[in-house]
Amino acid sequence: MKPSYNRFRRFCAFISGAVFLLSGILKLMDPTGSAFIVKAWLDFLYMGFLSPVAVGIAECLALVEAVLGAALMSGVWRKVTAIASSVLMGFFTILTAVLAIANPVMDCGCFGEAVHLTHLQSLVKNVILCALLCVAFFPFRDFGSPKPVKYVSFAISSLSVLVFALWSLIALPMKDYTEFAPGKILEASRSEDYVDLSEPVFVYEKDGQRKNFRLDNLPDSSWTFIDSKVIQDENSLRPVLSISDAGGEYCDSLAARGKVMVVSVFRKLHPHNAAGVREFVKHCSSAGYTPLILAASYENVPEDLRSLTRIADYKTLATFNRSNGGVTYCADGQIVRKWSCNFRPDNEKLAQLLSEDATSLALESQSKGGLSLQGFLLYVFAVLLLL
């Protein structure tokens, strides 16, 4: 086989690997968001019983994708990599083809929250990757051998991706791509007279067909409940939390009055996490902040914290802050900074934040997160390219 064609084959494998690696890293960066995507896939495939382990499935699939991408880029174990990548792409191309035909209301999640593709765009992307892999591995022989140093670069990059995945499980995503990213301003900050125009929508399924129903128009028992979500006013450009009190009254303005530290609780708090929230709330009050706990249910928080608790939608809370028990600093309705439950700010940090400009802090937070992600991506790609 001509050396020029072999180089072209390696180029196709390298490009495919770069897409695999980038896709895997973006999913690993946001375990909670990736779990939501996997749950949607499981529901679509009538495998909702696996939803409790959605995070594990999401992490394993993303890790396999990233490591396989590193193997394709470095050129190690080429025969094994050819089989694994071809099987993986063939499987997901078939799935995306089914999605393109059925067109359900869900995100393919190819690149996490960073890039949103329609089902048709996702299918086209997968077909192009399949074509690249066909060129890279056809005929299925004469793959050649990599330089010994490539095994070192593969090992370093794979270990780095694993450490990155473990860090992402205990910290927040490096870069926030959600509608509640630092710098965004909550809709309730417009005025004290703001009226919530968002409303809950419930997704039900019957005979393979899914439909959205509003609270005053729920279907009969022959339909199966699938999911719920909040539809925001289409004329609003700002994110809405849709907070309600015990009486069901709208009270989003609570998160938009002065300097507020919001604790998101979308799952029941572990006793250790609850103790941390309890201590943090005390520190916030003494430092001059208004503490506010937002929970998907009053059952998620201990009784002594329920006076500070208001209710919001589960997915909204998990989008607002990916960490259960995580903290979000809002200043006059502007989202300033976020922390996971493992890295809440201490008394010294709380005092420091009060003296700094909220807008500058928000811009710094987003910029630092973006630079951190770019730095990690450049590091991994540099290892695979230069070693």
Mean pLDDT calculated for residue range 227-243: 68
The pair of structure tokens assigned to 215 is 């609270």
Q: What is the pLDDT of residue 192?
A: 45
Q: For 72-86, 233-247, 351-365, which range has the lowest pLDDT when averaged over its residues?
A: 233-247
Could you check whether the bond before residue 139 is cis, i.e. omega within 30 degrees of 0? Answer: yes
Judged against a pLDDT cut of 90, whether residue 140 lies above it is answered with no
Sign of the CA dihedral running 316, 319, 323, 327: negative
Q: What is the pLDDT of residue 227?
A: 73
CA–CA separation, 23 vs 26, rounded Å?
Answer: 5
Judged against a pLDDT cut of 60, whether residue 234 lies above it is answered with no
Distance of CA 214 to the CA centre of its chain: 26
Q: What is the largest CA-CA distance in the chain?
A: 75
Q: What is the pLDDT of residue 229?
A: 64
Question: How many CB atoms lie under 10 A from the CB of residue 170?
Answer: 12
pLDDT in tens, 25-79: 999 999 999 999 999 989 988 898 999 999 999 999 999 999 999 999 999 999 9
At 120, give phi and psi (nearest 5°): -70, -40
Q: What is the pLDDT of residue 223?
A: 82
- Whole-model pTM: value is 0.85
Helix (H) or strand (E) holding 293: strand 290-295
Domains of the chain, start order: 3-170 (no CATH), 173-194+251-366 (3.40.30)
Helix (H) or strand (E) holding 369: helix 358-386
Rounded alpha-carbon distances, angstroms, from residue 59 to 36, 108, 220, 350? 12, 16, 37, 33
Mean pLDDT calculated for residue range 107-121: 88
pLDDT in tens, 360-373: 899 888 889 999 99
Judged against a pLDDT cut of 60, whether residue 232 lies above it is answered with no
Q: Which of 92-101, 132-141, 182-191 has the highest mean pLDDT?
A: 92-101
